[in-house]
Structure 1
Amino acid sequence: MEQRAHFSKKLEDLKVKVLRMAALSETAVHKAIKAFLENDADLAEEVIVGDSLINQMEDDLDNFSLELLALDQPMAVDLRTIIGGQRVTVNLERLGDEAVNLAHRALFLSTRPPLPHNPRMESLAATARTMLSNAFKAYVDEDVSLATQVCRMDDKADDLNIAILRQFVADMVSESRIVERGVHAIIAARHLERIADLATNVAESVVFIVEGTSMKHNCKE
């Protein structure tokens, strides 16, 4: 009984560690989006510098998870909790990378004249933020229904990304002077769409932890 209580405490510690990393990754994404939308070079630099801490947390979580797997030999739902936590961690590190990528686009564009306003970019950013927030909430609450909602929102992010691409291409055709800036904006939209994809991956991991079902590529069904 005492051994079980000790192991349960370790699982709780694992979840807390994952949530701390999630908070850092989410903050990085929010800062990068704000830096991009508001041409804030200083904020973009903060995101880039802060990424090393997210990477360090991934290493620490990897070691902690491997220790749990090696020493405690968990079964069933406990095993899913650990493996699912590892999957979430991988996606948190990638979220940090996408935040850095978006911050680099923000740095470049902050030195150039503003592009024509494209409200779909703001919509895509808002969609990505909402998906990320809901994915983390689903992880905290082990809420499969909310996780599934996140997955279903991914189509909206994809559609917005395509619409942004088409609009900027049209703008670049009509005004060649914005081509370089337009390309950076298109890449930025792709980073936002990737953030939405990674939120979906986190949601899929929630379904795996709770139900033991692999929902990779099928989370929307």
Structure 2
Amino acid sequence: MPRIHFQQQLAELKDKILAMAALSQQALEASVDAFLQRDPGLCQFVRDNEKAINAAQRELDELAYDLLAKEQPMAIDLRFILAVIKINGDLERIGDQAMSIVLRAAEMIEGDPVDLPLDIDGMRNHASRMIRTALQSLLDADALVAESVLAMDDEIDRMNRIAHQELTRFIQEHPELSPQALQAIIISRNLERIADHATNIAMDVIFWVRGADVRHQLTAAVD
């Protein structure tokens, strides 16, 4: 009977992390829409959503730490709880990055519209796809799907580099519009960081399923 209750608690933990993920994805989508549509209402939605994300993070952490303390899980169950704690942190930081986008969008809404060389919708779609894929790998306990997220990170890095180059050139050609372009550079970086958090989530899934920490392998490959 205690074992059944423990498995029910693990299932609850998974449900909560997926609910947390939904809030973070909403924040990403709404923050970019706020920028594209110049919509103050969407800016406020993201601000309110940030409060819900923070509350959900605290609730999930409490449940996870309670399971660690009371159940003393071993092997794969222990790795799952540890992975959820780390994933929870990355999802909260995705919300933080969305808030940063909204702050930039809110400032730009106050000025005249400017046609900037930034494929923010393309970057948003790619980052969102990475998050969805990472969460699917969590849902299915599929390390191969998680590995596909790691491969997707190169593309958004490339998009961020192009955005930085194009926006820097734009500033040189239109110095009077440099404040808007600088805000766009930060937004591009925010989206690249969101993709990094999706990659972290995928690596945590691999750690849970295989018991392998691939972060050091990636670092070695870069070095």
Would the TM-score normalized by the shorter structure come out above 0.5? yes
Aligned pairs for 1:88-107 (under 5 A) are 88-107=87-106
Aligned pairs for 1:22-171 (under 5 A) are 22-118=21-117, 120-171=119-170
Cα distance in 2 for residues equivalent to 1:162 and 1:217: 24
User: Offset at 1:119?
Assistant: 5.2
Structure 1 portions without partners, runs of 5+: none
Do the aligned partners of residues 218 and 32 (structure 1) sit closer, same or farther apart at CA in structure 2, a change above 3 Å counting? Answer: farther
Give the secondary structure class of the aligned counterpart of 1:112: coil
Partner of 1:182: 181
The answer to whether the 8 Å contact 2:116/2:181 transfers is no
- Post-superposition Cα deviations, 1:157-214, rounded to whole Å, max 9, x if no partner, equal 1111111011011011011111000000000101010110011011111101111111
- Post-superposition Cα deviations, 1:89-127, rounded to whole Å, max 9, x if no partner, equal 010110111111111111111122222243533321221
Query: Which amino acid in the other structure matches residue 4 of structure 2?
Result: A
User: Offset at 1:86?
Assistant: 0.4
The TM-score with structure 1 as length reference comes to: 0.95
Do the aligned partners of residues 32 and 218 (structure 1) sit closer, same or farther apart at CA in structure 2, a change above 3 Å counting? Answer: farther
Cα distance in 2 for residues equivalent to 1:218 and 1:42: 43
- Post-superposition Cα deviations, 1:103-156, rounded to whole Å, max 9, x if no partner, equal 111111112222224353332122111111111111111121111111111111
Cα distance in 2 for residues equivalent to 1:172 and 1:217: 38
- Post-superposition Cα deviations, 1:51-83, rounded to whole Å, max 9, x if no partner, equal 011111111111111110111010000001100
Cα distance in 2 for residues equivalent to 1:140 and 1:33: 26
The CA RMSD over aligned residues, in Å, is 1.5
User: Offset at 1:218?
Assistant: 3.7
Do the aligned partners of residues 217 and 199 (structure 1) sit closer, same or farther apart at CA in structure 2, a change above 3 Å counting? Answer: farther
Structure 2 portions without partners, runs of 5+: none
Cα distance in 1 for residues equivalent to 2:55 and 2:203: 24
The TM-score with structure 2 as length reference comes to: 0.94
The answer to whether the 8 Å contact 2:156/2:195 transfers is yes
Give the secondary structure class of the aligned counterpart of 2:9: helix
The answer to whether the 8 Å contact 1:24/1:54 transfers is yes
Moved over 6 A (4+): none
Do the aligned partners of residues 140 and 121 (structure 1) sit closer, same or farther apart at CA in structure 2, a change above 3 Å counting? Answer: same
Give the secondary structure class of the aligned counterpart of 2:25: helix
The answer to whether the 8 Å contact 1:148/1:219 transfers is no
